[in-house]
């Protein structure tokens, strides 16, 4: 029985994988968060990995607070880059399969069409810079690893845009939401299923893959969809990014092309609105 180690086990993706672990009982599952496996303690990390001795690592851990990361470069770099290098080195030496989760924020947002895996990365914030460094370390130290870039992740677990918008729409008469950043949301449950489709496939093909739900929307349009599904009575206004300054710049266009993951692994990619309904039903906020 292969042992799977999940880092970031209490995050959105880790929590969805925990649910799937009850289905994929052919694996032994080890879920860790920073209390059980501190990725920031680089000196001890290799020893801890040897103790656990997994045959598969799914690295869901990251410093994902994009605005806070601007003032916390060192912490971001340790978690998003240096720890990934240790995971990659260890997995390479110990014949362990590594799936590392990355982000659309490795791109600068100047593209006009959906981004393929060969598109040139050019991050514009600390989060993106450190995540790209993690990707490069992953490929350098374990060329047989798989990297999955994703975007706009939400789920019924943790804090995310869907839950925040749902709360604010009930508390306020009106909301302003950015309407000139374009991409596609990702329901973490769908990403977790895509990962398990890869792990149970006959053919392991290393490299970078893109995964998000189908659809091209702005954050404003995403908010309108949430409102429509829940039936909230709140005025939602679309505003430009310039009207809502944040410490970290965001890419204006980061829609991911999913052709590769579909063709190589036969991954099914649901429409974003279908998955959004599923999640909101679970949260009990569907009208």
Res. 104 pLDDT band, cuts 50 70 90: very high
CATH code of 141's domain: 3.40.50.720
Q: What are the E-state strand segments in the chain? A: 2-7, 27-31, 56-59, 97-103, 146-150, 153-154, 174-178, 182-183, 186-187, 207-210, 217-218, 235-239
279 assigned to some structural domain? no
Sorted by sequence, the CB contacts under 8 Å of residue 206 that are 6+ apart come out as 143, 144, 145, 146
The strand pair at 153-154 and 217-218 is best described as unpaired
pLDDT single digits (tens) 138-189: 999 999 999 999 999 999 999 999 999 999 999 999 999 999 999 999 999 9
| Residue 231 belongs to some domain of the structure | no
Of the candidates 146, 272, 97, 265, the residue with the CA atom closest to the CA atom of residue 197: 265
d(CA 18, CA 153): 17
pLDDT band (50, 70, 90) for residue 241: very high
Confidence of residue 53 (pLDDT cuts 50, 70, 90): very high
pLDDT for 83 = 98
What pTM was estimated for this model as a whole? 0.97
Q: Look up the domain containing 197 and give its range.
A: 2-160+185-213+256-269
Contact by Cβ (8 Å): 285, 166: yes
Which is catalytic among the residues 24, 34, 105, 127?
Answer: 127
Q: What pLDDT band is residue 242 in, cutting at 50, 70 and 90?
A: very high
- Is residue 121 domain-resident? yes
Predicted local distance difference test score (pLDDT) of residue 249: 96
* pLDDT of 286 over the 90 cut: no
Q: Is residue 227 included in any domain, yes or no?
A: no
Q: Is the pLDDT of residue 287 over 80?
A: no
Residues 6 or more apart whose CB falls under 8 angstroms from that of 205 comprise 146, 264, 265
Q: Is residue 245 part of a domain?
A: no
Over residues 94-119, mean pLDDT: 98
**Domain for residue 230, yes or no?**
no
Residue 141 a catalytic site member:
no
Total tally of structural domains belonging to the chain: 1
Does residue 115 carry a pLDDT above 90? yes
Predicted confidence at residue 121, as pLDDT, reads: 98
Does residue 190 lie in a domain region?
yes
């Amino acid at each position: 029985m292969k042992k799977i180690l999940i880092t970031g086990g209490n995050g959105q993706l880790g929590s969805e994988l925990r649910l799937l672990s009850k289905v994929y009982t052919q694996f032994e599952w080890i879920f860790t968060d920073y209390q059980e496996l501190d990725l920031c303690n680089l000196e001890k990390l290799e020893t801890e990995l040897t103790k656990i001795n997994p045959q598969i690592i799914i690295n869901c851990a990251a410093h994902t607070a994009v605005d806070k990361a601007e003032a916390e470069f060192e912490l971001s770099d340790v978690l998003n880059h240096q720890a990934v290098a240790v995971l990659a080195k260890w997995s390479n030496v110990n014949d362990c399969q590594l799936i590392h989760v990355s982000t659309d924020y490795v791109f600068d947002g100047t593209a006009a069409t959906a981004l393929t895996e060969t598109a040139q990365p050019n991050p514009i914030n600390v989060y993106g810079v450190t995540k790209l460094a993690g990707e490069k370390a992953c490929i350098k130290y374990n060329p047989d690893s798989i990297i999955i870039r994703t975007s706009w992740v939400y789920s019924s677990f943790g804090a995310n845009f869907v839950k925040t918008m749902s709360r604010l729409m009930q508390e306020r008469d009106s909301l302003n939401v950015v309407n000139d950043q374009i991409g596609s949301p990702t329901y973490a449950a769908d990403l977790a299923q895509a990962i398990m489709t890869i792990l149970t496939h006959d053919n392991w093909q290393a490299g970078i893959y893109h995964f998000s739900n189908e659809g091209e929307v702005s954050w404003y349009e995403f908010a309108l969809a949430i409102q429509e599904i829940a039936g909230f009575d709140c005025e939602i206004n679309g505003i430009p990014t310039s009207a809502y300054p944040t410490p970290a710049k965001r890419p204006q266009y980061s829609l991911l092309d999913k052709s590769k993951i579909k063709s190589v692994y036969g991954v099914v990619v649901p429409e974003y609105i279908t998955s959004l309904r599923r999640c909101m039903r679970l949260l009990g906020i569907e009208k």
